């Protein structure tokens, strides 16, 4: 990739440091920001044929932005991903313009490409139950099967992200009636723990051959280290293949299923927002679209008038 100037690189690092310190951005988020903004700065450098110091960055025009977007789309990047990249660039430029005292109108006024909202893809209730019943069968070692069952039960029963489940420590066990979870952006929330999740964790701990220190990860890998997300993903992949479920069935789909099934049962949208740790209600509202979509599928398949031949 084209090198960017030391001044631009320093500015990028300063912005990332601020994102981490002020907004509590996760490491994965910071890595994505670095990649997206770094690629933009590298393109601008090559596009203009000169090292992009801060003075050069302050005069980026609309034609430069259009050229970057066209280049990015031509590189096979979809509308959704381009919108994400543009959001990161705007965020960086908003910070840079304030720090350096220039107007970033061309960058900040650039419109993101339109795309259809990506709806969550939850499991049906019987598929979720099948996943819980069969995931322990994917490994011959009983304690590993019990561990995978406990993790997936927590994702589905408590609506946690995989990173949140794997951040639980020995001090969290046996699981209490409520968990205090720190999610994205350092946002804290209280999550009720259902009995089946507590029992699943208890069963895993009884079988686990490795010590679980109070300040160490609750879920242990095969050799005793901290369990990584990829191990859980592989167990879910094997289970969905066995059950004939679609590729959309992932550990994160268990969290989607938690929210959708609560909503279907009459759960309050605001309460579900709090349980999931969403900063914005609009994020949670995506589940209402899923519920409506499923309702229409049932209607179209079963209602006599919907299936009546056209005259």
Active-site position among 147, 255, 256, 261: 255
The tokens for 166 are 């794997």
Active-site position among 198, 240, 261, 278: 278
The tokens for 311 are 């005259």
Average pLDDT in the 49-57 region?
Answer: 75
CA 61 – CA 48 distance, rounded (Å): 11
Contact criterion met (CB below 8 Å) for 226 and 217: yes
Contacts of 139 (CB under 8 A, 6+ apart): 145, 148, 235
CATH number of 125-299: 1.10.443.10
Over residues 155-165, the pLDDT tens digits come to 988 888 899 99
More confident residue, 236 or 190: 236
Confidence of residue 223 (pLDDT cuts 50, 70, 90): very high
Which residue carries 């089946």 as its tokens? 196
Average pLDDT in the 77-82 region?
Answer: 86
Known catalytic residue at 252: yes
CATH architecture designation of domain 6-108: Orthogonal Bundle (1.10)
Nearest to 30, CA basis, from 17, 42, 39:
17
Q: Of the given ranges (6-20, 122-136, 256-270), which has the lowest mean pLDDT?
A: 256-270
Known catalytic residue at 139: no
Nearest to 191, CA basis, from 259, 264, 263:
259
Nearest to 259, CA basis, from 278, 294, 284, 279:
284
Active-site position among 84, 234, 238, 252: 252
Q: Is the pLDDT of residue 153 over 90?
A: yes
Known catalytic residue at 270: no
Known catalytic residue at 199: no
Active-site position among 94, 134, 184, 228: 184
More confident residue, 218 or 123: 218
Active-site position among 287, 299, 301, 303: 287
Map out the domains of the chain as residue ranges: 6-108, 125-299
Contact criterion met (CB below 8 Å) for 218 and 169: yes
Rg (CA), the chain: 24
The pTM (predicted TM-score) of the whole model is: 0.60
């Amino acid at each position: 990739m084209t090198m960017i100037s030391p001044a631009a690189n320093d500015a990028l690092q300063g912005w990332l440091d601020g994102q981490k310190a002020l907004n509590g951005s996760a490491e994965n988020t910071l890595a994505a920001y670095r990649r997206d903004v770094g690629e933009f700065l590298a393109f601008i450098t090559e596009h203009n044929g000169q090292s992009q110091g801060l003075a050069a960055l302050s005069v980026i025009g609309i034609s430069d932005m259009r050229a970057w977007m066209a280049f990015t789309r031509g590189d096979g990047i979809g509308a959704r991903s381009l919108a994400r990249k543009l959001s990161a660039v705007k965020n960086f430029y908003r910070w840079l313009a304030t720090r350096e005292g220039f107007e970033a109108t061309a960058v900040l006024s650039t419109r993101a490409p339109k795309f259809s909202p990506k709806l969550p893809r939850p499991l049906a209730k019987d598929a979720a139950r099948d996943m819980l019943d069969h995931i322990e069968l994917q490994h011959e070692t009983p304690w590993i099967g019990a561990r995978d069952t406990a993790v997936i039960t927590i994702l589905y029963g408590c609506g946690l992200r995989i990173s949140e489940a794997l951040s639980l420590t020995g001090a969290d066990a046996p699981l209490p009636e409520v968990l205090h979870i720190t999610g994205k952006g350092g946002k804290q929330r209280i999550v009720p723990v259902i009995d089946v999740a507590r029992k699943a964790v208890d069963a895993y701990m009884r079988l686990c051959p490795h010590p679980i220190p109070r300040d160490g990860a609750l879920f242990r890998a095969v050799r005793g280290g901290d369990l990584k997300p990829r191990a859980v993903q592989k167990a879910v992949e094997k289970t969905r293949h066995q059950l004939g479920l679609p590729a959309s069935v992932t550990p994160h789909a268990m969290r989607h299923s938690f929210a959708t099934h609560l909503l279907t049962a009459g759960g309050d949208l605001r309460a579900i927002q709090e349980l999931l740790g969403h900063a914005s209600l609009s994020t949670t509202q995506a589940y209402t679209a899923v519920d409506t979509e499923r309702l229409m599928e049932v209607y179209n398949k079963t209602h006599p008038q919907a299936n009546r031949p056209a005259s």
